[in-house]
Structure 1
Amino acid sequence: MRMRMTELADAVLLSRSGVTRLVDRLERAGLVGRERADGDGRGIVAVLTPLGVERLRSASATHLTGVAEHFGESFGPGELEAFGRTCDRLAADDVYP
């Protein structure tokens, strides 16, 4: 997985300098690396390392278990499906440009 630093800043709602500091820490931990963007000598992309992918998968599993336990169980029969359709509609409407 790879993403331009500017796109990453937009995606995580941090300033460019904030994302640079975050990527610095993740790089020191061996979770990401930096590479030149293809076709753009000035652009930089953050790339997950194999350790970063492993850590992301582990965190995702923990996160999804917590969501199911603490949020999903609040829904009654049929409500979760209706909520899912609402989320799909919101995502399709591109509410967050």
Structure 2
Amino acid sequence: MLKPGGILLLTTHGDITRQNLLPDEQQKFDAGELVVRGNVKEGHRMYTAYHPVKYMNTLFDHKVTVLKHKAGTRQSWGLEQDLWLLQKGNS
């Protein structure tokens, strides 16, 4: 729950993490669809979601204002997540 005028900071697995997807998942991602993985590793409970920018913009449309989107980049330690700074309208 975000109050009117409130600001939300969140991170997602964006374009830079596309390389971690299987070919059929890459096709979904490229089409702007959310890609969800559950129980990926046998014996462990793991849940990962990959959010293309097109999906995020559709999700936020008319609900919040995107103040900033910084796409993740490759770092010395690995792949950075996308950063989203959002603001809810006053109504």
Q: TM-score, normalised by structure 2?
A: 0.28
Whose radius of gyration is greater, 1 or 2? 1
Q: Return the structure number with greater strand share.
A: 2
By relative contact order (CA 8 Å, sep 6+), the higher-ranking structure is 2
Q: TM-score, normalised by structure 1?
A: 0.27
